[in-house]
Amino acid sequence: MSKPNLEALSGAGVSIWLDDLSRERLTSGNLDELIRDWNVVGVTTNPTIFAGALSKGESYDEQVRELANRGADTEATIREVTTTDVRNACDKFRDVYTSTNGVDGRVSIEVDPRLAFDTDKTVAEAQDLWKTVDRPNLLVKIPATEAGIPAITKVIAEGISVNVTLIFSVERYEKVMEAYVAGLEQAKANGHDLRSIHSVASFFVSRVDTEIDKRLKAIGTDEATALLGKAALANAWIAYDAFEKTFQGERWEALKAGGANAQRPLWASTGVKDPSYSPTLYVDQLVVADVVNTMPEKTLQAVADSGKITGDTVTGRAAQGQEVFDQLAAVGVDLQDVFVALETEGVEKFEKSWEELLETVTNQLAQLKG
């Protein structure tokens, strides 16, 4: 059965991706249903998602037991299990991938977050994941840390499609887009078909409000309180304006003529953290053509039930966003410090999830052996 709100969102040019993946989703028919009836045209994963999936139920027991009996260690088991899920998800999205000329039907897998501050190891891991999954509709996730920026260029230059993750500030986002364009120029020089290279830039939304709202409440003035819940959308509106400015002009047109695809903004972390906000806030107010919104299932359900999709809510709002930022600075919010804190926390959260994943799989291997 079609979902009118989701149909409207897709019709407005937003690609709906699910921010979750598990063996159970793949084998139960749930993912097939979401593709068929819920307008879902892609999936994103991260270490937290895999840590959660492997800690629940028995879906992975058979494969983990087989790997244990083969003598696989924890790292090899994680690689085998996660790439199997991602490869199978890629296959489920193959028709979407074909029908959209490679724009959608995408599944993302992240490099080991412990490599976030090592360019060369990130590149090597991205290459290995690309070869291991071996599907054209894969996106390898690389964090937008200072060390991740040159890694993006190197990986794109080799013809590997990339999802750049953990972007919080427009300043860093501009560096990400530059890294992508430079990578395409190198890929062209290396003889790669630019039409086959795709990328999205995952711009985090709700976490910005979480961090800034906390600081506004600590300031506590009427002016500060009036800005609660406004920063994340303002940030995204400014980011979209930066996207429009980057993918035009002589330099971009030369690449476009060779078949290059623009790096689409992907709105990430769109589940609302503050229960006083509308559960569809970071969907309704971020509708614009040529973007992705990757949602947890709870948010997807909320949009289907009560989303207010009224057409483009982004174009032309950068000045409004800048006004909010000026007001935030005026009441004493140090935005530079906010973005540094968010990136540090983002990497740490994924590292912690990876450690949890290691612990879960180590225990499973010990229990299932024999």
Distance of CA 86 to the CA centre of its chain: 15
Which whole-number Å values give the CA distances from 237 to 215, 289, 312, 342, 352, in the listed order? Answer: 21, 13, 11, 19, 31
Distance CA(143)–CA(369), nearest Å, equals 35
Distance CA(264)–CA(266), nearest Å, equals 6
202 DSSP β-pair partners: 266
Distance CA(116)–CA(249), nearest Å, equals 32
Catalytic residue among 56, 121, 141, 217: 141
DSSP per residue over 108-169, as a string? EEEPPGGGTT-HHHHHHHHHHHHHHH--TTEEEEEE-STTHHHHHHHHHHTT--EEEEEE--
141 carries an active-site annotation: yes
Q: Which secondary-structure segment (H or E) carries 200? A: strand 199-204
Phi, psi of 296 (to 5 degrees): -65, 160
DSSP 8-class letter at 260: P
Q: Beta 138-143 vs 199-204: how paired, if at all? A: unpaired
- Diameter of the chain measured on Cα atoms: 65
Tokens (6 digits) for 286? 């971020």
Q: Which residues contact 71 (CB under 8 A, 6 or more apart)?
A: none
The interaxial angle of helices 335-368 and 47-55, nearest 10 deg, is 30
Q: Which residues are catalytic?
A: 141
